[in-house]
Amino acid sequence: MNTQDRITKCRRPWRRRAQLAAVTVGLLAGACDAERAPTVLRVSAYGEAYVEDRIPAEDVIDGWEIEFSEFAIAVQGIEAEGEVMPGRYIVDLREGSAGGGHLLGELEVEFEEHPLLGYRVAPVTAATAIAVSDETAATMIDEGLSILVEGQARRGGETIDFRWGFATDTHYRECHSTAEPDGGEAHSQLTIHADHLFYDDLDSPEPNVAFDLIAGADADADGEVTMQELRAVDITGEARYQVGSREISDLWGFIEAQTATLGHIDGEGHCDAGA
Amino acid sequence: MDASSKPPYVGFACNTQISFLHGSEPMRLPLPLCPLVACLLIASNAGCAFDSELADRVAADVVVDSGAIVSAQTDLGYRVELSRCRVALNTVEFTTDGEQHASLLGRAWDLMVPSAYAHPGHYGGGEVVGELSGRHVFDWRDDGAVLGQATLLDAEYSGANFGFTRARAEDGLHPDDPIIGHTFEIAGVATLDGERWEFSALLDQDDGRRVVGLPLSLDVDPGAGDEPVLGLQLHIADPFEQDSLFDGVDFEMLDEDGDHIVVIEPETEAYNRLRRNTQAHDHYGVAPL
């Protein structure tokens, strides 16, 4: 009898004890599988209060308050446990969802305790528009953007506007959803962490959310920081804004690299991210 | 119940209070569930044994390789030569680029916690399937100094990672050792147009900041009886792009009092550039010796 035979035969007489098996999974580390049941998995996208409301000044190390007026992302390749949702979507996460996020679609999947999901934030040539203006959706398609953010940072009497489009293509894989089946249904949320755009380190597990260096990039002092102005900021002499081994030397490149860290699952759940 | 009269895992399952599963309230498993837990644990153990059999491994000495601590020219034209290059590192990981069997082995090792192999598993830059654990404070000029013995699984290795730390007296250092509390202690001489500056720096990296993706090409075959020796290198000059560790450091500008002695102080652009350069994997390597 091989190992798998032993595992299978030990499991079957005890299906009713599956809950206990789940409790002991930390000890067992994969010894016995729980039952896989068909489940309708609803998938939504959510930008948290940081997008729907603002990033408050107390969360930003240099005291800036950051408010988005648009935070549009293009999502495609949503899959769970190997089942693919065929649609492509452009959704503006700035639109209020009362914490529920914006429903993108649903999948019928089988999973054990929690599903593994994947998705891409990447430019699209056509998409279903969700909570986004036609103008913004058209801009993203025409300009090949995966992320378009617009907003304003405020501190005291200062204001800095920004409108940045990114063409990055990030594939989030093996996202550890916390979704649990309930009456044959479950819900996973593609959670976008907007504050990462303003992180001051690409590798530190405890970076700051910061805006001073970005504000200082406003070379023409017109109150708006553009991509070109960010590109002109050399970060190689900065104490913060560390990049590890990446070939990044300007502030635009730094923020662009941060766009690959935005995607999460069900709040704080992590994914493997790559091109 | 007399645990000693039962199979070992039954005794564990039924008589051990599993407090971490129930917060501060210890949980004692009800007797009717013992056969279930015993069955699952036996199956788990069988799984571990199965995985362990796959995990053929070899021990490899990891030594300091000073071959790349050479005189190098910076982008500003200085010729730099080091007289001291001490560093504090922690665990060095060895990676493969995601072969299926290596991935399985990584998971197998995850089950072996808290063994010496507590951290193998997936990590950016490849699948971690070997490591040299522990803290290491050494001078990169001390060629051949043994850092320790790494354990390597049967795999084709394509990279390595390590973490920075801050040196401590507990690392076997004299309490007055200047590197204590710091990551690098660097000293040397920079020359330009016949002028010469002695320089030094105490660099700090965030404790745990990692350098990922050091180049390594090594095929480990436990069956061949090989006992590989791996040299951990620091490249003053990046072998790929020819930039140097001291690019952007203008020693003459830093010598404000003109005594030709320069201390690269924190919160200066020179310090930040040097610190940033030491984080790039291009300046490191692991070479089979």
Total tally of structural domains belonging to chain A:
2
Interface residue A22 vs chain B (CB under 8 A): no
Determine whether the interchain pair B41/A31 forms a contact, defined as Cβ–Cβ distance below 8 Å. yes
Interface test with B, best of A8, A27, A240 (most B CBs within 10 A): A27
Determine whether the interchain pair A6/B43 forms a contact, defined as Cβ–Cβ distance below 8 Å. yes
Edge-first strand listing for the sheet containing A263-265:
A102-111, A37-46, A185-192, A263-265
Domain ranges, residue B114: 57-288
Query: CB under 8 Å to A206, separation ≥6 — which residues?
Result: none
Interface residue B42 vs chain A (CB under 8 A): yes
| pLDDT value of position B184 | 98
Interface residue B235 vs chain A (CB under 8 A): no
Q: Distance, in angstroms, between A120 CA and closest chain B CA?
A: 18
| pLDDT value of position B55 | 62
For residue A48, the SS3 value is: helix
| pLDDT value of position A129 | 96
Q: Distance, in angstroms, between B132 CA and closest chain A CA?
A: 22
Selecting from A6, A30, A245 the residue whose C-beta is nearest the C-beta of B211 gives A245
Indicate the residue type of A97: S
For residue A41, the SS3 value is: strand
Residues A124 and A31 in one domain: no
Determine whether the interchain pair B21/A6 forms a contact, defined as Cβ–Cβ distance below 8 Å. no
Average pLDDT over residues A19-42: 56
Interface residue B276 vs chain A (CB under 8 A): yes
Handedness of CA B127, B131, B136, B138 (dihedral sign): negative
pLDDT above 50 (res B25): no
Least confident among A150-154, B99-103, B239-243: B99-103
For residue B213, the SS3 value is: strand
Average pLDDT over residues A207-212: 97
| Residue of chain B with shortest Cα separation from A28 | B44
Residues A118 and A144 in one domain: yes
Look-up of token digits 């250092």:
B173
Angle between helices B34-54 and B8-15 (to 10 degrees): 130
Residues B124 and B259 in one domain: yes
Look-up of token digits 């595992």:
A7
| pLDDT value of position A236 | 94
Interface test with A, best of B12, B20, B22, B36 (most A CBs within 10 A): B36
In percent, the amount of chain B with pLDDT more than 70 equals 71
Residues B192 and B172 in one domain: yes
Residues B31 and B107 in one domain: no
| pLDDT value of position B149 | 95
Residues A16 and A59 in one domain: no
pLDDT above 90 (res B39): no
Least confident among A41-50, B195-204, B233-242: B233-242
Burial class (CB in 10 A: 0-12, 13-18, 19+), A253: middle
Residues B170 and B29 in one domain: no
Query: CB under 8 Å to A91, separation ≥6 — which residues?
Result: A45, A72, A73, A75, A102, A104, A129, A130, A131, A132
Cα dihedral B140, B145, B147, B149, rounded to 10, equals: 140
Task: List the beta bridge partners of residue A209.
Answer: A199
| pLDDT value of position A222 | 98
Query: CB under 8 Å to A93, separation ≥6 — which residues?
Result: A45, A46, A47, A51, A52, A71, A72, A73, A102, A131, A192, A194
Angle among Cα A186, A189, A191 to the nearest 5 degrees reads 165
- Residues in A closer than 8 angstroms to B21, CB to CB, are 23-24, 26
Residues A78 and A23 in one domain: no
Residues B68 and B143 in one domain: yes
| pLDDT value of position A205 | 83
| pLDDT value of position B123 | 41
Domain ranges, residue A18: 1-35
In angstroms, the CA B199 to CA A245 distance is: 25
Residues B232 and B267 in one domain: yes
Q: Distance, in angstroms, between A211 CA and closest chain B CA?
A: 19
Query: CB under 8 Å to B270, separation ≥6 — which residues?
Result: B248, B249, B250, B254, B264
Least confident among A31-40, A155-164, A239-248, B270-279: A31-40
- Residues in B closer than 8 angstroms to A254, CB to CB, are none
Residue-wise burial string across A213-231, b where 16 or more C-beta atoms lie within 10 A, e elsewhere: bbbebbeeeeeebbbebbe
In percent, the amount of chain A with pLDDT more than 70 equals 87
Q: Distance, in angstroms, between A229 CA and closest chain B CA?
A: 21
| Residue of chain A with shortest Cα separation from B39 | A10
Pairing of strands B261-264, B195-203: parallel
For residue A6, the SS3 value is: helix
Residues B90 and B219 in one domain: yes
Average pLDDT over residues A47-69: 97
Q: What are the start-end ranges of the H helices in chain A?
A: 3-11, 18-23, 25-28, 48-52, 134-142, 212-215, 227-231, 251-258
Total tally of structural domains belonging to chain B:
2
Interface residue B7 vs chain A (CB under 8 A): no
